Structure 1
Amino acid sequence: MVKTYRLENLSCTSCAAKFENNVRNLPDIKNVELNFGASKLTVDGDVSIEALEQAGAFDHIRVYPEKSRIEHTPFYKRRQSIETAISFLLLAAGVIISFQTAENNPWAIGLFGGSMLVGGYHMFRTGLLNLSRFEFDMKTLMTIAVIGAAIIGEWREGAVVVFLFAISEALESFSMNKARQSIRGLMDLAPARALIQRNGELLEMDTEEVRIGDVLIVKPGQKIAMDGTVLRGQSAVNQAAITGESIPAIKTAGDEVFAGTMNEEGALEVTVTKRVEDTTIAKIIHLVEEAQAEKAPSQKFVDRFAKYYTPAIIAIAFLVALVPGYVTGDWQLWIYQGLAVLVVGCPCALVVSTPVAIVTAIGNAARQGVLIKGGIHLEETGRINAVAFDKTGTLTKGYPEMTDAIPENGYTKQQLVQLAASAETMSQHPLARAIIKEAHGELLPAENFQSVTGKGAYADVERQRIHIGSLLWAEEYGLKIPQYASELQQIGKSVMAVFRTDVLVGIIAVADAVRTESPSIIGRLKEMGISSTIMLTGDHPSTADAIGKEIGVSDIRAGLMPEDKLSAIRELQQQYGRVAMVGDGINDAPALAASTIGIAMGGAGTDAALETADIALMADDLEKLPYTIRLSRKTLRIIKENIMFALGLKVIALLLIIPGWLTLWIAIFADMGATLLVILNALRLVRVQK
């Protein structure tokens, strides 16, 4: 039986690995998967929560069922924080006594010993257990160093090292919890209970009990508990939690709404279309947590490096203690230096340098309405050299709009649109709907509507027969078509003549309109150094050229079938290396899958987009693309900085061995400083905004 649990107090990667191994060794366990980034455990087997907590007792790991709402303990109330505070008070008292008398004063030694026990009891217990099994992790190295310091009489330094290590552990735990808060925030978005109208009764129930087809009642100011479609009512719904859009969307009957979004104004009755585990917000949480579990290339490199790094540090520490001690005879000094090498060599900062950046960046992106499905995709996005776009629905709006209405023979623009829309009232053609929309409801009564295949349609409007159709059809009636009509056709627009039997009323042009933001997005990509932007479309070359020039893309490839788009992506990869493809996630599935990074538009309403793409822009909003690339590049930069900080501080500290200046104080500051520095540096990613 496969069960998933939430974990608390999981802040150290080496502790996570040890916990996973302990659970794996429990009886009746078939498989275990631990997601450190999401603090989540999946177990295939028969096991109790008590047994799992026993496996994590070495680090006080708490285990909760997946659906539980975990009450998070404030930082100042946590066990680590209280123990660290007591350790500090004992250390401070010992320092005062040692300065007033002598460092080897029995009272001072007693206070230092008490400080070490309170602040380091759990570390010592784990470290000694590891030592008995020849497992060398951070706590093992620290335990050897502190016990060694006490043996050679360095009680004060040993106590300071334990206190600083306790601070480091407490702050690391606090920082990791901060990095995970974005996912916890998503989990708390959707209400746990819903008001349902079923069989004429109003019932309040847990969302797990709600069935597809139930009617959900949503009052003004309430969060929507389930995905569904509006049955009755109209309201503004704030969808920022799902799509990142700050402006509320107006929802009326037939519109889709999502769990976790806020109903701001009117009351809504919503027909439930998905169970609680299948809602969009549930899918986002699942995919983000899976993304945080997937190791990025940088993290894989660090893990491989750390595997050889720790044994190397232990070997160096022994050599530092033995060789100069044997040569000079000053065993106490060089054993002390060897112990300092063990402390400074703790690999914690190095191991945590990458995952904390990945967790923070993916969580930030989810809050902004961008779903990144793994650390590898985050890193690859930061390295792309070219971006290919589908045209329809990506660079353009995906539906026809009236772009030009030019009246002739004394008619006004308003009259032209009104007559054309009235004549098309009964038509189901997409171009007709674009014209009717532009009339804003100012329609005249129409009779005797008739569609003429291949030419257009006509109807009687105010006792006049109004035709609307092709330019050739108008010419058949002996009407002269202005030159500008042909020019509009040449730039890719669908041009129609509106005429009576003997008089041209005017010319109307309809086109799949360019998104207003598309040209600026292309401009911003060029400013970011991505000069190669390619439009891939099945449109006629003349239409594609006109739209491509308007938007400002650097390359236009027209007349492409889906398989041609796939070939184009492969060709672009040979030319530019890493290529991102932006599309709608359905028609462009082959090209999205073949590209280095597939980016789908409008993932909030499209399961295919969530499943197909590496990255889903949850809103139908291209504005998120430059933000995503900027976030990815900053994440790459911060990962490199973190690795440099983690190794650089340790190298500097190790060089102090040569003149004999390395102390336990400096060693713990180098280790703690590097760990906190990489965590705080990674948390800068929280501030990256659209």
Structure 2
Amino acid sequence: MADAMEARPPSAVQKTTFTVLGICCSSEIKLIDRILNHLEGIENVSVNVLAKTATVVHDPAKAPASRIGLMFHRLKPVSALNGAHLNAGIKESGRVQIESRPWPSASVVASGALLLVALCSYVFPPLIWIALLSVTVGVLDMLRRAVAALRRCVLDINVLMVAGQSASISFEGSVTVSNDDDDAVFGAIGLGDYLEAASIVFLFTLAEWLEAKSTNKARVSLESLLNLAPQTAVIAETGETVHVKDIMINTIVVTVAVAEDSAVARMVKLVEDAQNRRSNMEEFIEQFAKYYTPGVFLVAAGTAIIPWILGVHPLRQWIYLALVLLVIACPCALVISTPVAKACGLSAAAKMGLIFKGGNYLEALAKVKAMAFDKTGTLTEGAFEVVEVQCWEPNANIGQFLHWISSLENMSSHPMARALVEYARVRGVKPSSEVRNFNLIPGGIAGFVDDCYVKIGNAEVALSNGWLRENELRDNEAGITISYVGMVDRCIGYFCLGDQLREEAARAVQELKKQQIHVIVLTGDSKAAAEHVQKQIGENVQVEAGLSPEGKMKKIAELKETWGLTAMVGDGINDAPALTESDVGVAMGISGSALATETANVALMSNDLRRIPEAVELARSSLRKIYQNVAMSLAVKLLFFGLAFGGLPSLWAAVVADMGTCLLVIFNSMHLLHKYGGRESSTSSSQVPQEQSINVDEFSEPLLSSERRDQDEEAPCLCCKGRSSQRER
């Protein structure tokens, strides 16, 4: 692997993900950026607070990672991050890093125990000095991080907390006692706010542990996906003896990919990549936070300095107010309000069998006003059955006719093609391996079979080529797809195929209608076939028939102009242009083509259409959680600003409010996991067999023979000029 990486051209970039388990607050994103971006060869840094990872895009020539395994502790990014006490390391490919800390650290427990002892100073005053010991025990890690942040001119939560504790210890206090008879003022000589400083340290470190424990619960949902991955495959060469526990007769296990290339690992990678992508709301909040913290810090500094310059007394009151403002200057809860809800939503969607390629698509799906569905293979099962074959060629029998059809169709991975090839095979007809100049035409396919140029297509192909007149076309029947076969200037026959509507299709469409979403069916099939589907799913659904891939794309553009945000659900290569044109493209991951899944923004990892309205519901809930989190965060900040200038809150109360809001935001977001994460068991087993959900590569086209795969790679793709064999019917 090292040689492969070193052989890459100098201009190539490499992506490496690091675990940064020491992240305790979103304000440390800037610190990590400052640490890594000054290293030579680093091009981009993306930090995921919830997942506690930093993804680095770097030039391997200047910042090589070829010896990551051997030089783990000496790798520059790791060393630099650990220099700031951020507990960094290389993230294992395809694995979710879970920090298992069922109990607070020893320093947190010790700090809390010493604080309890110090509280007894109300009975025995000398014990107040124990509070200083409590601060010393608990503040060390915080102090190290604060120093690292200040060295890079970054104001993070550690700097603010250390400043608050230092001031609490440094400034002396006074107590005023009064009654109805006389006034007396007693000075508390030489006493600093040691108890409050100790309270700040303990409450902050305890809240930090609670926050880490809560975020781990959100991240652990991804671990359940990894449990699907097979463990180990043993390669037994000829003559090699392998010791096994059991032998199962007539059972063959085929290993088709290494663990990091498995469908499960790629599912996890897609979700992690989606979490790393910033949504529009997230970017806005982060931009706001960049100005919020320095702004509040300046207000706090002014609150302490201006009264001192003006000689306003008591000065201690203004300094104390400045400290409270320092504590609430950290926008932790506000900054994580969006990513934590987004991450929980993405994880819940993954457990439901929906892989979003970015949090922005989750937000967009929540606002979708129109949704278009492809018919064949999406609303219908795509399990075609040949119901009629007619040969009109006088010099050919039905066997020769099937040979021409199956040879040309063998170049395609369309469900119709597979049904026709199988129909011919059962009748003893084998497709020719010599098919030349195979190409896609509007509404069909064409190519040379045994030196005969054959075209197969819909009614439009038959009419445009002059094979038949309108009144000579076969009568359309409900639910039947008719394709015509021609040579040069004549039609030599036709065939009819039937397809069944998915059992859950009507229910899924009507659920979308209840969600106030305009639903439209786009198909290249005949009007009669489209109207037959319309009758089954609901007369209130719009249908558009006879559309080419470009026609579907134009229809999506019209929907966007008329309705606003538009989603498209499809499964074939011919759906790729429409999926790309839509605001949110949803691909059928199991039955769909690789290109459809690649161009789509969301992959449905089953054929259960009920997941679509559930995805809309989840997206809307996630967006509501984001709004709720932002509102709670801002409300608490504004409330404490008002209370602070009213002289009411104390420092420890500000710490509790600040960290408590973080926890509240996390728990509120985790409700998405509890509400939607348990829906994975409701997937219809009849539609997604257990072995398929584990072993089938959902991101590739349906399984073909090696011969057909090789041929498919030679077929030109209409929409991307790549190589494919799908066509529009």
- Normalising by structure 2, report the TM-score: 0.69
The 3-state SS of whatever aligns with 2:195 is helix
Task: Give the Cα–Cα distance (whole angstroms) in 2 for the partners of residues 35 and 607 of structure 1.
Answer: 30
The one-letter code matched in structure 1 to 2:108 is T
1:336 pairs with one of 302, 312, 320: 320
- Could you say which residue in structure 2 is the equivalent of 1:370? 354
C-alpha distance in structure 2 between counterparts of 1:604 and 1:399, whole Å: 10
**CA separation in 2, counterparts of 1:129 and 1:492?**
69
Counterpart position of 2:292: 309
Picking from 75, 81, 84, the partner of 1:56 is 81
Q: Which has the higher strand share?
A: 1
Q: Does 1:546 align with 2:532?
A: yes
Work out whether 1:657 is the aligned partner of 2:640. Answer: no
* One-letter identity of the residue aligned with 2:90: Y
Residue by residue over 1:175-219, the C-alpha shift from the partner in whole angstroms, topping out at 9 and shown as x without a partner, is: 2222222334434542442133443646599xxxxxxxxxxx997
Q: Aligned residue for 1:9?
A: 21
1:180 to 219, 244, 261: 219
- 1:143 paired to 2:127: no
- DSSP-derived class of the 1:355 partner: helix
Supply the RMSD in Å over aligned alpha carbons. 3.7
Counterpart for residue 119 of structure 1: 138
Following the alignment from structure 1 to structure 2, what is the Cα–Cα distance between the partners of residues 665 and 584? 56
Of the candidates 473, 486, 507, which is equivalent to residue 520 of structure 1? 507
How far apart in 2 are the matches of 1:218 and 1:305?
A: 61
In the alignment, is the contact (CA less than 8 A) between 2:115 and 2:130 conserved in 1? yes
Are the aligned partners of 2:566 and 2:584 in contact in 1 as well (CA < 8 Å)? yes
Work out whether residues 31 and 43 of structure 1, in 8 Å CA contact, stay in contact via their aligned partners in 2. yes
Q: 1:70 to 1:657 in 2, by over 3 A?
A: closer
CA contact (8 A) 1:397 1:513 kept: yes
Determine if contact 1:196/1:204 at 8 Å carries over to the other structure: no
Q: 1:388 aligns with which of 363, 372, 378?
A: 372
Distance 2:34 2:150 in 1: 17
> How much does 1:598 deviate?
0.3
SS in 1 for 2:118: helix
How far the C-alpha of 1:487 sits from its partner, in A, is 14
Q: Which moved more, 1:68-77 or 1:276-285?
A: 68-77
Q: CA deviation at 1:490?
A: 4.7
Q: Distance in 2 between matches of 1:33 and 1:66?
A: 18
- Structure 1 residue 389 displacement after superposition: 0.3
Distance 1:535 1:638, change over 3 A: same
Letter in 2 for 1:627: E
Is residue 2:119 matched to residue 1:99? no
Q: Which residue in 2 is equivalent to 1:46?
A: 64
- The 1-side partners of 2:110 and 2:527 are apart by 76
**Match of 2:212, as an amino acid?**
S
AA matched with 1:107:
L
**Do the aligned residues in 1 keep the contact of 2:477 with 2:529 (CA within 8 Å)?**
yes
Q: How far is the alpha carbon of 1:494 from its aligned partner?
A: 6.5
Shift in CA distance, 655/76, structure 1 to aligned 2, threshold 3 Å: same
Find the aligned partners of 1:178 and 1:570 in 2 and give their Cα distance.
Answer: 41
Q: How many equivalent pairs are there?
A: 552
CA apart distance, 1:144? 1.2
Q: Distance in 2 between matches of 1:571 and 1:76?
A: 55
Range that drifts further, 10-19 or 84-93: 10-19
Distance in 2, Cα, partners of 1:543 & 1:605:
21
Asked if the contact 1:581/1:592 (under 8 Å) is kept, the reply is: yes
Letter of the structure 2 residue corresponding to residue 361 of structure 1: G
Query: 1:535-574 alignment to 2 at 5 Å?
Result: 535-552=521-538, 554-574=541-561
Contact 2:476 2:528 in 1 (8 A): no
> 2:280 maps to which residue?
297
- 1:170-569 correspondence to structure 2 within 5 Å: 170-187=209-226, 189-199=228-238, 201=240, 267-270=251-254, 272-323=255-306, 326=310, 328-401=312-385, 489-493=476-480, 511-530=498-517, 532-552=518-538, 554-569=541-556
Alignment CA distance shift 1:520-1:100 (3 Å): same
Q: For residue 539 of structure 1, give the secondary structure of its aligned residue in structure 2.
A: coil
Query: Residue 168 of structure 1 aligns to a residue in which SS?
Result: helix
Contact 2:37-2:45 within 8 A present in 1 as well = no
- Note the alpha carbon deviations across 1:318-358, whole angstroms, 9 max, x for none: 23334566474110111101101110221111111111112
Query: Identity over the aligned pairs, expressed in percent?
Result: 35
1:367 Cα deviation from its structure 2 partner: 2.1
Aligned partners of 2:213, 2:504: CA distance in 1, in Å?
Answer: 40
Secondary structure of 2:499 counterpart: strand
Question: Separation in 1 of the partners of 2:134 and 2:642?
Answer: 30
Could you tell me which residue of structure 1 aligns to residue 600 of structure 2?
613
Letter in 2 for 1:525: L
Provide the rounded CA distance (Å) in 1 between the counterparts of 2:117 and 2:418: 83
Q: Which runs of 5+ in 1 are unaligned?
A: 206-216, 221-231, 234-266, 405-423, 449-485, 496-508
Residue 569 of structure 2 aligns to a residue in which SS? strand
Using the alignment, how far apart are the partners of 2:535 and 2:337 within structure 1?
Answer: 44
> Is the partner of 2:503 in helix, strand or coil?
coil
Give the whole-Å Cα distance in 2 for the aligned partners of 1:173 and 1:593: 38
Matches of 1:606 and 1:7 in 2, distance apart? 34
Q: How far apart are residue 645 of structure 1 and its match?
A: 1.0
Map of 1:568-587 to 2, 5 A cutoff?
568-587=555-574
The alpha-carbon distance between structure 1 residues 119 and 625, as it changes in their structure 2 partners (threshold 3 A), is same
- In the superposition, relative to structure 1, how do residues 537 and 344 fare at CA in structure 2: closer, same or farther (>3 Å)? same
Alpha-carbon shift at residue 548 of structure 1 (Å) = 1.2
**For 2:108, which of 75, 84, 99 is the aligned residue?**
84
**Post-superposition CA distance 1:96-143 (Å, at most 9, x none):** 1x2203xxx3431x2111111222212123224434554222211111
Superposed displacement of residue 516, structure 1: 1.1
Alpha-carbon spacing, 1:204–1:292, altered in 2? closer, same or farther (3 Å): farther
Specify whether residues 291 and 330 from structure 1 end up closer, same or farther in structure 2 by C-alpha distance, changes over 3 A only: same
Report the alpha carbon displacement of residue 374 of structure 1 after superposing the two structures with TM.
0.5
CA distance in 2, matches of 1:204, 1:353: 53
**Counterpart pick for 2:588 among 590, 594, 601:** 601
Counterpart Cα distance in 2 of 1:542 and 1:681: 49
Distance 2:537 2:325 in 1: 59
Given that residues 113 and 155 in structure 1 are in contact (C-alpha distance below 8 angstroms), is that contact kept between their aligned partners in structure 2?
A: yes
- Cα distance in 2 for partners of 1:431, 1:351 equals 51
Aligned to 2:645, the other structure's residue is in SS state coil
The amino acid across from 1:4 in the alignment is T
C-alpha contact (below 8 Å) 1:586/1:609 kept by paired residues = yes
TM-score for the superposition, normalised by structure 1? 0.72
Q: Deviations over 1:240-273 (max 9, x none)?
A: xxxxxxxxxxxxxxxxxxxxxxxxxxx3332x44
Query: Offset of 1:628 from its aligned partner?
Result: 1.2
Shift of the alpha carbon at 1:172?
Answer: 1.7
Tell me the distance in 1 between the aligned counterparts of 2:17 and 2:639: 42
Structure 1 residues 203 and 490, CA, compared in 2 at 3 Å: closer, same or farther? same
**Aligned-partner Cα distance in 1 for 2:246–2:598:** 30
**What letter corresponds to residue 389 of structure 1 in structure 2?**
F
Which amino acid is 2:377 matched to?
A: G
Q: Which amino acid aligns with 2:127?
A: W
- Amino acid corresponding to residue 270 of structure 2 in structure 1: L
AA partner of residue 618 (structure 1):
M
Q: Are residues 686 and 144 of structure 1, via their aligned partners in 2, closer, same or farther at CA, if it must alter by over 3 Å?
A: same
